[in-house]
Amino acid sequence: MCNCGLIGTFGRDNAFLDNLSKGEPIVHYDVSVMEDRRPTLAAKVEFLSRPSAYSEPVGEVSRRETHMSWVFLAGDKVFKLKKPVRRAYLDFSALARREVMCRAELRLNRRLAPDVYLDVVPLVQSAQGLSIGGPGEVVDWLVVMRRLEEHWALDRAIEEDRVKASQLDRLVTTLGKFYRHAARPYLSPVAQLNEWHHNIFRDCRFLLDRRLDLPAGLVRTIERVERCFLDKRAGILIERIRDRRIVDGHGDLRPEHIWLTDGIKIIDCLEFNPHFRMVDPFDEIAYLSLECGRLGATWIGDYVRRGVARALHDDPKPELFLFYRCHRAALRARLAIAHLLEPNPRTPEKWRQRTHDYLRIAARDALRLQRLLKTPTVR
């Protein structure tokens, strides 16, 4: 099966929309009918939950809801429907935007899972009702994926304690090749440093919201050490930006997005926010290390970090890696606890526990980072 959740932010203009469409031709359909005459999201979900909706025989359809999508597991395929949501960080409210984002998801995810992401197809309404493809008015778009067996997902393998070094070697090879050939944007060091300061402030301010009842002293300690790193070691970040170490990466490199098949598959990149995909490869590896450690497999993060360092002939200073991990943990704590501010949060006890787990990891990394920052740098 396929876990197809996405978390991220969104920002773009018309030029970016055009760029996303390059290499994936847009098919023009009749979309002139007003949105309010189209079927509701609930009607689309109900239709796609039926086995009869699919052209190939399907015994049963299981579905999963994420913040931004509905995912339907039907036979040997997965169909993803983006919700028509509009938030401060993304806008999927218009049909045209959802089409562009579906095509971007197909194109970008084919970088690391070319035989998993199969197609983008229209959801159509006619006099006979809804159908996947065929004549009629296009009312939405679906990303079609090959269904993967959850047995091979890295998070499942960690849970069952059956991850092998040979599998991680294949993962390292895949990541090394990906990062070596990834696009490398030109970035302003000053702008990037300002953004780091802003992100730290944003996370701290959110986590200190009194409604959340989180340990304020712990949050402030994490913030203080992160800012200390920026004050004392900003040169490390500047050097990596000037050396063009930043790449157009995956953006959400978590164990549940990695499949340890013979040909490694990595799914669910952040297709809707190119800015958040512009990362230091070791920032992504720090994120993976954080999540593996939270699941009880710290050794995996260490193994992959060393392997990628060899593959890229690049081994950044330990304080940089710790800074990346600490910041990712604080960010994940913010995203986890944010679920509790939703009108009807699902599994609230899960998100509060998850938030405390991330804060503990961030605090532990902050303590280690603080010790390194007390050591004079060697020039």
Question: What is the DSSP track for 276-308?
Answer: HHEE-HHHHHHHHHHHHHHTT-HHHHHHHHHHH
Q: Which of 243, 248, 241, 240 is nearest to 275 (CA)?
A: 248
> What is the topology classification, in CATH, of domain 154-373?
Aminoglycoside 3'-phosphotransferase; Chain: A, domain 2 (3.90.1200)
Tokens of 249: 């990466």
Cα atoms found within 13 Å of the Cα of residue 273, Cβ hemisphere only: 21
CA distance 309 to 245: 12
Cα atoms found within 13 Å of the Cα of residue 99, Cβ hemisphere only: 18
Q: Are 226 and 327 in contact (CB under 8 A)?
A: yes
Q: Are 145 and 80 in contact (CB under 8 A)?
A: yes
CA distance 262 to 260: 7
CA distance 256 to 154: 6
Q: Spell out the per-residue pLDDT of the chain, length 379, in tens.
A: 444 432 232 233 333 333 333 333 333 333 333 345 689 999 999 999 999 999 988 889 999 998 889 999 999 999 999 999 887 777 888 999 999 999 999 999 999 999 999 999 999 999 999 999 999 999 999 999 999 999 999 999 999 999 999 999 999 999 999 999 999 999 999 999 999 999 999 999 999 999 999 999 999 999 999 999 999 999 999 999 999 999 999 999 999 999 999 899 999 999 888 888 999 999 999 999 999 999 999 999 999 999 999 999 999 999 999 999 999 999 999 999 998 888 887 788 899 999 999 999 999 999 999 999 987 654 4
CA distance 345 to 368: 34
Angle, CA of 112, 118 and 121, to the nearest 5°: 135
Please say whether the dihedral angle defined by the alpha carbons of residues 201, 377, 329 and 248, taken in this order, is positive or negative: positive
Give domain limits for the chain.
14-148, 154-373
User: What is the pLDDT at residue 14?
Assistant: 33
